Amino acid sequence: MDLKKIFSEIYDSLNDVEDAGKVADYIPELANVSPDHFGVHLVTVDGQHYDFGDSDIRFSIQSIAKVFSFVMAYSQIKSTIWERMDVEPAGTPFNSLVQLEYDKGIPRNPFINAGAIVVCDILAGELASPKDNIRSFVRDLCGNRTIDYNPLVAHSEKKTGFRNYALVNLMKSFGNIHNDIDAVMDLYFHLCSLEMSCRELSDSFLFLANNGIVPYSGKQILSPSRTKRTNALMQTCGFYDEAGQFAFKVGLPGKSGVGGGIVAVLPGKYAISVWSPRLNPKGNSFKGMLFLEEFTTRTHLSIF
């Protein structure tokens, strides 16, 4: 299959669709991105790369980073994650307080904000230098030592993260946050500020399409069984309260972020990343989702 040609045909067909999305501006620094960027990158487990558009420009990966922190905790930390969070789709917005109150401070899954904040609490309590350790982990996954946090984005979010502070305080009141709140939130905001390109994202997620092994280094990050479970979590919880729509339309496990990125994997075959900053009302990239829907429909390369 000529994937580059397919990318370009799909992109052209989307030109006729009005981009009804809106760039995230609730974190002020995110509003500075040019809304018309569009990039795609696909890498196969046997090392073939296909790209299109702005695939080498770094952007704020935001919630996509929750997969990295979760995998790090799941693979390296001895304490039981599953006593502190669940594995159920939330069905409510990613920063909802209502459900958390109802569930007595136990987040529904590791990919909503509350769940990722608990993962940060676990990592903050167990790693020697959590910010450095997470950054090294991500750098190793994609083989690029220049990947970094954007301190301006982390700071911007810290200044305006009232709802995230409400989540962490609510969980602390239920005894589900063990460390100092400011240390946990500093880690969380830095995690979300990681910047990567589509190419780097696809490379770093490829182990989830390869039974938990990073193809370029041969390093086993997760066992096949934990890889399966991580993919199941991405499938059911990776797209805010639109995970059902994403499964219905695209049919791949993945994760999106409010920076407009989406990364998804087809186990045994490939990882693909798309970046288009305008978001639909649920917080997923408007064009990115349309693009992936068209891609898996034309190529039959989905899990269903």
Q: What is the DSSP letter of 272?
A: E
Assess whether 149 carries a catalytic annotation.
no
Per-residue x/- track, 195-234, ligand GLU (CB under 6 A): ----------------------------------------
19 binds ligand GLU (CB under 6 A): no
Task: Give me the phi and psi of 89, to 5 degrees please.
Answer: -60, 145
* Binding of residue 276 to ligand GLU (CB under 6 A): no
Give the whole-angstrom CA distance, residue 142 versus residue 147: 9
Tell me how far apart the alpha carbons of residues 252 and 130 are, in angstroms, rounded to a whole number.
30
- Residue 62 interacting with ligand GLU (CB under 6 A): yes
What the block records as the tokens of 236 is 């059911």
95 binds ligand GLU (CB under 6 A): yes
Q: H or E element: which one contains 184? A: helix 181-192
Tracing tokens 């490829």 back to the chain, one arrives at 206
- Whether 188 is catalytic: yes
Among positions 53, 254, 257, 277, the unique one binding ligand GLU when judged by CB under 6 A: 257
Check residue 94 for interaction with ligand GLU (CB under 6 A).
Answer: yes
* Tokens 């069905």 sit on residue: 91
DSSP-assigned beta bridge partners for residue 141: none
Residue list 115-174, contact with ligand GLU (CB under 6 A) = 157, 164
Which member of 50, 74, 149, 188 is catalytic? 188
Tokens for 105, please give them: 């401070």
Structure tokens at 132: 């450095």
> Does 69 interact with ligand GLU (rule: CB under 6 A)?
no
266 binds ligand GLU (CB under 6 A): no
Residue 164 or 204 having the CB closest to ligand GLU: 164
Catalytic residue (choose from 250, 258, 263, 274):
258
Q: Which of 119, 240, 265, 274 is catalytic?
A: 240
User: Which residues lie below 8 Å from residue 36, measured CB to CB, with a gap of 6+?
Assistant: none
What's the rounded Cα separation, in Å, for the pair 153 and 141?
23
The count of residues interacting with ligand GLU (CB under 6 A) is: 11
Active site residue 63: yes
| 3-class secondary-structure state, position 50 | strand
Note whether 258 binds ligand GLU by CB under 6 A. yes
Binding site for ligand GLU (CB under 6 A): 62-63, 94-95, 113, 157, 164, 192, 257-258, 283
- Tell me which residues are annotated as active site: 63, 66, 188, 240, 258
